[in-house]
Amino acid sequence: MEVKIFCPATVANVSCGFDVLGLCLDTAGDEMLVERTMQPGVRIKEITGANLPLDTAQNVAGVAATALVEKLHPPYGFDITIHKKIKAGSGLGSSAASAAGAVFAVNHLVGNPLTPKELVHYAMQGEKLASGAAHADNVAPALLGGFTLVRSYEPLDIIEIPAPENLYVAIIHPHIEVRTKDARAVLKDRIDFKKAVIQTANLAGLISGLYTADFDLIGRSLHDVLVEPLRAHLIPHFSFIKKAALDAGALGAGISGSGPSVFALAKGNEAAGKAAGAMAQVLEGTGIDYEIHVSNINPVGIKIV
């Protein structure tokens, strides 16, 4: 009759995988309770931890759940309660966590007619509300876990990529606002041919490193020559934060989604902890509040709790 779930935060782009790659976190995320009701329709009953719209049509969870209900036509309705822990606009897939959580829960409460991969399409409808584009780079890792590659949208083709067991993520979330709109506005319509070749080589290297658990190759490949140079100035102290993570032993670091969060990948929990501490040190005394997260790669995505 009801299901309580953990809706994980996600890191999109992952340096060289702009708009196509994403990974799922395990220690950062929202909680959601979805109740099956006799009254048809989808309602947002309560939201704690953030000031977000309760109007079903204005909340990504409501929009995504409605898209799935219109497909499945179940003989019930759904009441959604969201406990927000990931702030909207953090670059950690806050809207995706809600959209993915909503479709996961509705599907569960009607007997799981769709696979997690089939749910991606419906969760994307929520993302369309948040950013104007029905993108999958956060909802796919939230629903499937691990690393995911959005190989194509038409047709939708999501590839699950295995992550080495000992691969960890360090995150720093500076409490400043980077509007997705602004982060999109700095992008250019055309890209340099030579840079495109470098980016392609690094993306292929990263994917290969993930499959073969080659940590050195993962580190050598974590470079973004296309987008990071255009966006770095939107995040105060970005180059120092990144350098601190690398100096502390991280394999690589970059902007999480469209920022302001910065992620670093590391071999092992301890190394990730050191990277997180080093990144935090950069913001100490700057007057910018922040929070840090250290997580393994969540292999399953959304979890029933």
The residues annotated with a catalytic role in the active site are 127, 180
* CA distance readout (Å), 11 to 2, 82, 191: 29, 21, 23
Which residues, numbered 165-184, are part of the site for ligand ADP (CB under 6 A)? 180
Task: Tell me if 204 is assigned to a ligand binding site.
Answer: no
Task: Tell me if 88 is assigned to a ligand binding site.
Answer: yes
Name the segment binding ligand ADP (CB under 6 A); options: 94-102, 169-177, 197-205, 282-290.
Answer: 94-102
Exactly one of 29, 91, 205, 219 binds ligand ADP (CB under 6 A); which one? 91
* CA distance readout (Å), 283 to 120, 237, 248, 260: 36, 8, 15, 13
Give the C-alpha separation, 241 to 139, whole Å. 27
Question: Does 13 sit near ligand ADP (CB under 6 A)?
Answer: no
The owner of tokens 């990263």 is 206
Q: How far is the CB of 96 from ligand ADP (least distance, A)?
A: 6
Total of residues contacting ligand ADP (CB under 6 A): 19
For 137, half-sphere exposure in the C-beta direction (CA atoms, 13 angstrom radius) is 19
Task: Tell me if 264 is assigned to a ligand binding site.
Answer: no
* CA distance readout (Å), 151 to 27, 127, 161, 178: 27, 18, 12, 27
Within 8 A by CB and 6+ apart from 263, the residues are: 11, 14, 169, 170, 171, 253, 254, 255, 256
Task: Tell me if 92 is assigned to a ligand binding site.
Answer: yes
Question: Does 52 sit near ligand ADP (CB under 6 A)?
Answer: yes
Question: Does 131 sit near ligand ADP (CB under 6 A)?
Answer: yes
Token output for 240: 């120092």
Are the beta carbons of 49 and 81 closer than 8 angstroms?
A: no
Question: Does 125 sit near ligand ADP (CB under 6 A)?
Answer: no
Exactly one of 5, 28, 34, 60 binds ligand ADP (CB under 6 A); which one? 60
Exactly one of 8, 17, 22, 89 binds ligand ADP (CB under 6 A); which one? 89
Q: How far is the CB of 301 from ligand ADP (least distance, A)?
A: 16
Task: Tell me if 93 is assigned to a ligand binding site.
Answer: yes
- Residue closer to ligand ADP by CB (options 95, 202) is 95
Nearest to 259 by CA among 285, 289, 232: 232
Bind-site residues for ATP: 87-97
Residues that bind ligand ADP (CB under 6 A): 52, 59-61, 82, 88-96, 98, 130-131, 180, 257
